[in-house]
Amino acid sequence: MERIDTDICVIGAGSGGLSVAAGAVQMGARVVLIEAGEMGGDCLNAGCVPSKALIAAAKAAQAQRSGGAFGVTPVEPKVDFAAAKDHVAAVIAQIAPVDSQERFEGLGVRVIRAFARFTSPREVEAGDYIIRARRFVIATGSRPFVPPIQGADVVPYFTNETIFAARDKPGHLIVIGGGPIGMEMAQAHRRLGADVTVIEGAKALGREDPEMAAVVLDVLRAEGITILEGQPVVRLSGTVGAVEVLLGDGVLVKGSHLLMAVGRKVSLDGMNLEAAGVAYTGKGVTVGENLRSSNRRVYAVGDAAGGLQFTHVAGYHAGIVVRQAVLGLPAKATMRAMPRATFTDPELAQVGLTEAEARAAHGVALTVVRAEFHHNDRAIAERKDKGLIKVMIVKGRPVGASIVGPQAGELIALWALAISARLKMSAIAGMVAPYPTLGEVSKRVAGAYFSPKLFDSAALKALVRFVQRFVP
């Protein structure tokens, strides 16, 4: 066994781990990066990147069906499903060099491709190496969770880790799970020509503002997706090409293929965290706001830290850890202004508190303002005017924003900045947005906050009358 002494040992080469490794080594720290699977982690290989590439292919297909309003004769597209998957693979291949072993070794990182397990509070074993480090960063991510449904051990199914490699179009895809992953994949496959049924035991998109989620669900149903809510899955049966899902109310759903999209489980198995004195639960490593574990030498980032499971959260966590472990400066993570987006069409995005959360937290101090996309000239011009923005405001500052509509994932960034920087609504109202853009909807909603104060004010109207009569 070869022994390596280093400053920082990063376990996991996904978004969070790569960001820590790149930042630390370029600042002069000695870094060892350990990865048992593919460089780039879930996001590059089986998550964000391939899903958005498939969604882009699906949008291209849908555009051919929806040209009537523009004077373009709608046609049913001829979809080459295998070629769509080639597009997905090509997108991954184009991005992969940024996350590659070669690039990180070029930066000066020692990369070890093996599984890591702790042998003591300061050492891990990985392949033929024992690594002793001043600091460790657990960035092992998560994997698909498969619930203990009867028949799940024998009935074939996809997860996000396997569905992007499938080159034959499903005749009828059954999706178990009505969260963001399930809904994105449902719409993409429907637009690429498959029949799709989504089964959700509670409410589809149930984490989101119900008013916003309803806009998305109405569109998905209009496109031909069957969405069954409020019924648990009791049993699975069948084989490839003929699967059956029995629901709690006795309904039997038949399809050709099955996708499990019911959530994710943090990947900590076999790491022997007990030997390191690192406390953890089924949700992840137990960390404080500084992302330090019960072993002060060990940090956790991203999904492994047990919080929100988004790539941008892992990247944010990486910056918090680099500040402490590399520069020796204090830093704490806060989720107050952490945005999220579901990339259906229309998109759905959220930052800060939803309306229900804000009402529970702030009561009568809360003001909620809204603006509809059907008042936005750019949205009207592009025939994408379904949706709205809703902003929750306390004492003149936004505490949450919900958007459903075209490019909601892009538009939410402004509100993430506003909440993070504690900007007042006057800053948004005073912003000049180019015309005609979707960004004007944010300025309109800020105007909706001030309009009652301006146009319903007796004192203001008296002032205006005075100025018009007496001021030369």
Give the pLDDT confidence of 151-209 residue by residue, as tens digits: 999 999 999 999 999 999 999 999 999 999 999 999 999 999 999 999 999 999 999 99
CA-CA distance, 440 to 296, in Å (whole number)? 47
CATH architecture of 163-263: 3-Layer(bba) Sandwich (3.50)
Quick one: pLDDT band at residue 64, thresholds 50, 70, 90? very high
Domains 2-39+100-143+265-325 and 163-263 share a fold: yes
Span 136-140, average pLDDT: 98
288 burial level (CB within 10 Å; 0-12, 13-18, 19+): exposed
The confidence score (pLDDT) of residue 454 equals 66
CA-CA distance, 50 to 440, in Å (whole number)? 31
pLDDT cut 90: percent of the chain above it: 95
The confidence score (pLDDT) of residue 219 equals 98
Could you tell me if 191 and 62 are in contact, meaning their C-beta atoms sit under 8 angstroms apart?
A: yes
Span 96-119, average pLDDT: 98
CATH architecture of 2-39+100-143+265-325: 3-Layer(bba) Sandwich (3.50)
Could you tell me if 331 and 324 are in contact, meaning their C-beta atoms sit under 8 angstroms apart?
A: yes
Q: What is the mean pLDDT of the chain?
A: 96
Instruction: Kindly list the domain boundaries of the chain, sorted by start residue.
Output: 2-39+100-143+265-325, 163-263, 340-455
The confidence score (pLDDT) of residue 455 equals 67
Quick one: pLDDT band at residue 462, thresholds 50, 70, 90? confident
Residue given tokens 């936005």 in the structure block? 376
Span 15-42, average pLDDT: 98
Quick one: pLDDT band at residue 101, thresholds 50, 70, 90? very high
- Per DSSP, 14 falls in state S
Span 313-333, average pLDDT: 97
83 pLDDT higher than 70: yes
Span 253-282, average pLDDT: 97
Q: Which CATH class is domain 340-455?
A: alpha beta
Could you tell me if 139 and 10 are in contact, meaning their C-beta atoms sit under 8 angstroms apart?
A: yes
Span 299-324, average pLDDT: 97
Which residues 6+ apart lie within 8 Å of 135 measured at CB? 7, 8, 9, 297, 298, 299, 325
Could you tell me if 209 and 358 are in contact, meaning their C-beta atoms sit under 8 angstroms apart?
A: no
> Tokens in use for 138?
């657990």
Element (H, E) at 217: helix 210-222
What length is written for the chain? 472
Could you tell me if 41 and 17 are in contact, meaning their C-beta atoms sit under 8 angstroms apart?
A: yes
Quick one: pLDDT band at residue 472, thresholds 50, 70, 90? confident
Span 269-278, average pLDDT: 98
The confidence score (pLDDT) of residue 460 equals 73
> Which phi and psi angles does 134 have, rounded to 5°?
-75, -35
The confidence score (pLDDT) of residue 243 equals 98
